[in-house]
Amino acid sequence: MNVVDVGAGSLGSIRTVLFDLDGTLIDSHELILSSYRHTMEVHLGWIPPDQAWLVNMGKPLVTQLRGFASGEDETRAMMETYRQHNADVHDLLVRPFPGIEETVRRLLVGGYRLGIVTSKARDVSIRGLEACRLSPGWFEALITSDDPVPHKPDPGPVHLALSRVREEDAWRTLFVGDSVWDLLAGRSAGTRTAAALWGPFGREELAAGDPDVWLDRPGQVVELLLP
């Protein structure tokens, strides 16, 4: 399908909406960069450019850290440092995106099945949702790095989410994400995809994911599906 902007074409057959978490449902950008910078300072003694981290954002933490570590022992030590710092400053730095709570509530009232597909661990995912006033109970599926499936951009976690929300037709699903890994995973799984431009990445970075829809703000999800 060709890339379209909001208002072009029809998504009237959609009945399930899957979301990425970081950069899509919750604004954890500063939290993630703070944890990254702290970890690099502790273990490397210097901080590589933020772009060195952002290029793989959306992949599991262990995968990202391996790119900076000298081996598995250092990777594990980095993970401990990252997670501890993340936990210490989490509630100070994470925040909801404007309009996201209303968007999710309106989709629920509209009868849509909702799920989350994230490369984050389950406990931290739940903490982030609750810190942003998004009830985990609103989502029939919460697929995290703790689930025994390959990670995005593999379609495995998207397939698992569709199974848990009891959606048999992937084409009737819209996967909303802010990274190219989200878009590639959704496309490989057979869903339609929407690029969330309110996250840290712009059109240039996300174009490789060939999204069906570009969204500038969360409320446009509702405008597309509940005109």
Mean pLDDT of 101-120: 97
Q: How far is the C-alpha of 226 from the C-alpha of 107, rounded, in Å?
A: 8
Q: What pLDDT is attached to residue 6?
A: 45
Task: Quickly state the pLDDT bin for 10 (edges 50, 70, 90).
Answer: low
Q: How far is the C-alpha of 193 from the C-alpha of 98, rounded, in Å?
A: 21
Q: What pLDDT is attached to residue 12?
A: 82
Just list the catalytic residues: 20
Q: How far is the C-alpha of 39 from the C-alpha of 66, rounded, in Å?
A: 12
| pTM of the predicted model as reported, rounded to 2 decimal places | 0.89
Q: What is the pLDDT of residues 155-176, one digit of tens each?
A: 999 999 999 999 999 999 999 9
CB atoms within 10 A of CB 155: 20
Q: How far is the C-alpha of 189 from the C-alpha of 159, rounded, in Å?
A: 6
C-alpha Rg value of the chain to the nearest Å: 17
Evaluate if residue 211 carries a pLDDT over 70.
yes
**Long-range contact set of residues 121-127: C-beta below 8 Å, sequence gap at least 24:** 121/61, 121/145, 121/146, 122/146, 124/83, 124/86, 124/87, 124/90, 125/21, 127/90
Task: Quickly state the pLDDT bin for 2 (edges 50, 70, 90).
Answer: very low
Pick the CATH number of 29-93 from 1.10.1060, 3.40.1350, 3.40.50, 1.10.150: 1.10.150
Q: How far is CA 69 from CA 66, 74, 175, in A?
A: 5, 6, 32
CATH architecture, range 4-27+95-225: 3-Layer(aba) Sandwich (3.40)
Domain boundaries, the chain: 4-27+95-225, 29-93
Residue with tokens 């976690």: 157
CB 200 within 8 A of CB 227: no
Task: Quickly state the pLDDT bin for 209 (edges 50, 70, 90).
Answer: very high
